[in-house]
Structure 1
Amino acid sequence: MTDSASNTLPATIDTLISAGWIIPIRPAQTVLKNHSIAIHNGEIVAILPTEQALQRFDAQYGIDLPQHVLCPGLINAHGHAAMSLFRGMADDTPLQQWLEQHIWPAEGQWVDEEFVRDGTQLAVAEMLRSGTTTFSDMYFFPNVVAKVASDAGMRAQITFPVFNFPTIWGQDPDDYIRKGLAVRDDFKHSDLVNVVFGPHAPYTVSDEALQKVAMLAAELDINIHIHVHETQKEVDDEVAQLGQRPLARLNALGVLSPKTQLVHMTALNADDIELVKQSGAHVIHCPQSNMKLASGFCPVQTLQAEGINVALGTDGAASNNSLDMFAELQTAALLAKVATGDASALGDWQALEAATLNGAKAMSLEHKLGSLEVGKQADIIAIDFSQLEQQPIYQPVSQLVYTACAQHVTHSWINGQQVMADRQLAHLDIREIKAKAQQWRDKITSPKH
């Protein structure tokens, strides 16, 4: 792979990263050995053999990683970052009980701007150290989440919540939408933050509010991110109450489109899948959270066979309990095999694409992210392949998917800027973040509360 305009490339560039292997995602199923990535003004300007790169470019910063693999930064397409402060609070509990008896009461008591700031910093640090460079977040005080991500140099899709009832962040659908669009205005010039609609779920948002979200999203040409068909009970309850399945209702209200991200999707029939296919909507698969809460599993193999884009998310750390996208893509690959009885289901390349390019597609960012190609933003991670537990190396992609890799991510760049070097974060103080997390634990578990 080389650039198509080599005669116009600057001799002086910002950064040159050389590595033992590069997995660019596009072209598909390509592994480049002993290649380099040239970066200038935040973009990839060339990918070529290291020997040629050293002759062509004078880099202000160069790094040689002969025992590392470079690949696109992972994209965590669904989560609730601040809920990292509830990690492990109510494990081994069914979903409704988990929500109604543990999480919702805790949120009502503890969640404020300070909680969201500290919890989001904890989550962002964890994600960066495990290879994620872009995340989607749905939570209260999205203005705070957006600022934390921006300050950390991390890319984020901020999905502001919409509910039919009052919460700590809003009073009614109009209030949520007004506040959310104000956050979007505040970050409209950001290179890192993209603010979109996040109606919570069909069972928490009315027809009128969903129609308004659909109308505004179409007018503003922005995405919609929504939990849907998370459990069979959710589907059965809506059929009993309204006489139709949630996806059919969303379709009738105009919510389904190529700009829609459907999260979880565990309880699907053939009609549901056909609706998603015809609408061009995307599915966000959260296998570990769904398994832990016994919610079911998303039929990834069937969806992909129908041409439906499937991306991956971790969900929140309160129900996962980690934000490790390498663990998530490994789980997705293994679950697809056991669910179908087909050992070839969601193979290693497909799993890696689900955690990179498919996430970019779901967020309408595939022109910028998800693969290492000339002209795209330089969102890159480096994974150390020199460790004992990774030997021997036959296929680098198989190694990424089926061998624990998060703790071996050593460097990352977002928009061409280095945000981690030798596992040290550039903009976040890990010691301070850990201390705040422990302070929240002590406060939440204090007997006087």
Structure 2
Amino acid sequence: MLPEAAQQVDLLLECRWLLPMTDDQPSLEWQGVAIDKGLIVGYWPLEEARQRVMPDRVHALHQHAVIPGLVNAHNHAGMSLLRGYADDLPLMSWLNDHIWPAEARFMRGDFVADGTRLAMAEMIRSGTTTFSDMYLAPEDVVDSIAEFGMRAQLCTPLIDFDIPWSRNFTHGLEKTRALTDQIRPFPALSLAFGPHAPYTVSDESLTLLARAQQALGLPIQMHVHETADEVNQGVTAAGIRPIERLHRAGLLGPGFQAVHMTQLTESDMALVKSTGTSVIHCPQSNLKLASGMCPVKVLLDQGIPVALGTDGACSNNDLDMFDEMKTAALLAKGHSGNAQALPAMDALAMATREGARALGLGDITGQIKTGYAADITAVDLQALNTVPVHHPESALVYAVNSRQVSHVMVAGKLLLEHGQLTGIDEKALLDTVAQRLSEMTTEYTQ
């Protein structure tokens, strides 16, 4: 039975296909999604929606699939300015011989902020509304993220030695505490500890981290079991596998986000499952650095939550979550030898609902659901590469070019409309990037 009077709302999205990415994973046709004051009011069959609500505006998305905004659960946004800087190298050579020296030379706060702006523009243009950022100078990107309107988790870079952001691990913890005050006025921002990896963090530092987590209640995101060499060196140094070392330090749990996880034994996975730890899969970066392959199908079969991230533009080399979903789905099939591994709808869940849950935002975003933030992406499927649409989830994961993203909103505010960035001067941004490249080239050749 319909209400006697229609509810006044800000916006009605009239969708050809709606994939709300709730746990039952429905795929619906001809739906109306009502949005008011930045929140999702509800959705109904289109004719019913037109009677239930009286919108100030209507977006007719009659050839589009509408999904929750994509969640990039692991990124180093400021590294966009190092895109293509050190390609075709194994992880440790890439880090030690190229990336860390380049960061020491170039990555001041203003550089990081400009790199982050470039990354956000790219992510918005390709349908991402939320990202987790583990990088230098997090205090210098707060205003830019707020200006661009995205939702973000900032992971403070914690490491035992001197880096451009901190002198040592203890100093990094002190700066993390200060950053909690800085982000408080920004409801779309959250904070996490970002210790680099087990091989760059001592037992003493892990103890300090556990105490700081108890005091501040922040989640932890960390590169873990990224390569076989890392694991082997960890066993040689500590006598136990790195994931067990983290567990003994009291760090694993629902608030722990383990990134990469390409080297896992049955006992490793049992430990991850028993503690409620989340895994963040970065397939393209892992392939490019030849780090290994995360056993996604096995993890999912055991009920271990898996989210999806691009990693940074320096090791991917783009931040396109549609491309990442396709790679994740294909890699899971090839790695497991099972064509049914990671079907399209499950890959889409990793990039939306499961990403939000991994970042502790599962009650806010990642689903199109009454009371959730209106973080929404619309994709035009009327294109040569996506028609005919037998199953919209298949088109989204296996066929879409991210340039088909037409609308992106966060908390009901349009950041992309009809394929155009609404609050970003793209030409000015490109000019800034060109200037940064010139500065880096000049400094590097001197």
TM-score by length of structure 2 reads 0.97
Aligned match of 1:356 = 352
The answer as to whether partners of 2:162 and 2:168 remain within 8 angstroms in 1 is yes
1:370 and 2:366 equivalent? Answer: yes
1:157 and 2:153 equivalent? Answer: yes
For 1:208-253, what per-residue CA distance to the aligned partner results, in whole angstroms no more than 9, with x for missing partners?
A: 2212222222333221100110100000111111211100100000
Q: 1:97 aligns with which of 68, 93, 98?
A: 93
Q: State the 1:90 CA deviation.
A: 1.1
1:84 and 2:84 equivalent? Answer: no
Structure 2: gaps spanning 5 or more residues: none
Deviates more, 1:69-78 or 1:419-428: 419-428
Aligned match of 2:299 = 303
Deviates more, 1:207-216 or 1:325-334: 207-216
Aligned match of 1:228 = 224
1:425 and 2:421 equivalent? Answer: yes
For residues 8 and 50 of structure 1, the distance between their equivalents in structure 2, rounded to whole angstroms, comes to 18
Q: 2:215 aligns with which of 219, 222, 225?
A: 219
Give the AA of the match of 2:9.
I
Q: 2:187 aligns with which of 177, 188, 191?
A: 191
1:435 and 2:416 equivalent? Answer: no
Aligned match of 2:401 = 405
Q: State the 1:150 CA deviation.
A: 1.3
Question: Structure 1 residues 53 and 204, CA, compared in 2 at 3 Å: closer, same or farther?
Answer: same
The answer as to whether partners of 2:173 and 2:212 remain within 8 angstroms in 1 is no
For residues 8 and 381 of structure 1, the distance between their equivalents in structure 2, rounded to whole angstroms, comes to 31
Q: State the 1:417 CA deviation.
A: 1.1
Give the AA of the match of 1:336.
A
Q: State the 1:292 CA deviation.
A: 0.3
> Identity of paired residues, percent?
44
Question: Structure 1 residues 209 and 9, CA, compared in 2 at 3 Å: closer, same or farther?
Answer: farther
Question: Structure 1 residues 10 and 109, CA, compared in 2 at 3 Å: closer, same or farther?
Answer: farther
For residues 146 and 263 of structure 1, the distance between their equivalents in structure 2, rounded to whole angstroms, comes to 23
1:180 aligned counterpart, secondary structure = helix
4+ aligned runs moved over 6 Å, structure 1? none
Q: State the 1:9 CA deviation.
A: 9.1
Aligned match of 2:27 = 31
Q: 1:292 aligns with which of 284, 288, 293?
A: 288
1:222 aligned counterpart, secondary structure = coil
The answer as to whether partners of 2:74 and 2:133 remain within 8 angstroms in 1 is yes
For residues 92 and 170 of structure 2, the distance between their equivalents in structure 1, rounded to whole angstroms, comes to 27
Aligned match of 1:338 = 334
- What do you get for the CA RMSD once the two structures are aligned? 1.5
1:170 and 2:140 equivalent? Answer: no
For residues 195 and 113 of structure 1, the distance between their equivalents in structure 2, rounded to whole angstroms, comes to 18
For 1:103-127, what per-residue CA distance to the aligned partner results, in whole angstroms no more than 9, with x for missing partners?
A: 1111010000111111000000000
Structure 1: gaps spanning 5 or more residues: none
Q: State the 1:259 CA deviation.
A: 0.5
The answer as to whether partners of 1:383 and 1:405 remain within 8 angstroms in 2 is no
Deviates more, 1:156-165 or 1:188-197: 188-197
1:218 aligned counterpart, secondary structure = helix
Aligned match of 2:246 = 250
